[in-house]
Amino acid sequence: MNKNIRWITQTAVMLALLLALQTLTKGFGQLVTGTCVNAVLALTALLVGLNSGLVVALISPVAAYLLGIAPQILTVPAIMVGNGVYVAMLYFMDREGRKGTLIAGWILASVAKFAVLYLLVVKVICGIAAEALLAAGTLKAPMIDTFSAMFTWPQLFTALAGGAAALAVLPVLRKALRR
Among residues 60, 44, 52, the alpha carbon closest in space to that of 4 is found at: 52
* Tens digit of each residue's pLDDT (9 = 90 or more) over 92-115: 998 766 778 899 999 999 999 999
Mean pLDDT of the chain: 92
Q: Give the Cα separation of 109 and 111 in Å (integer).
A: 6
Tell me which residue range forms the domain holding 151. 3-176
User: Using H for helix, E for strand and C for coil, what is the string for 42-83?
Assistant: HHHHHHHCHHHHHHHHHHHHHHHHHCCCCCCHHHHHHHHHHH
Q: How many domains does the chain have?
A: 1
Among residues 168, 166, 156, the alpha carbon closest in space to that of 42 is found at: 166
* Tens digit of each residue's pLDDT (9 = 90 or more) over 35-75: 999 999 999 999 999 999 999 999 999 999 999 888 778 89
Q: Give the Cα separation of 165 and 163 in Å (integer).
A: 5
| Residue 36 belongs to domain with CATH number | 1.10.1760.20
* Tens digit of each residue's pLDDT (9 = 90 or more) over 11-30: 999 999 999 999 999 999 99
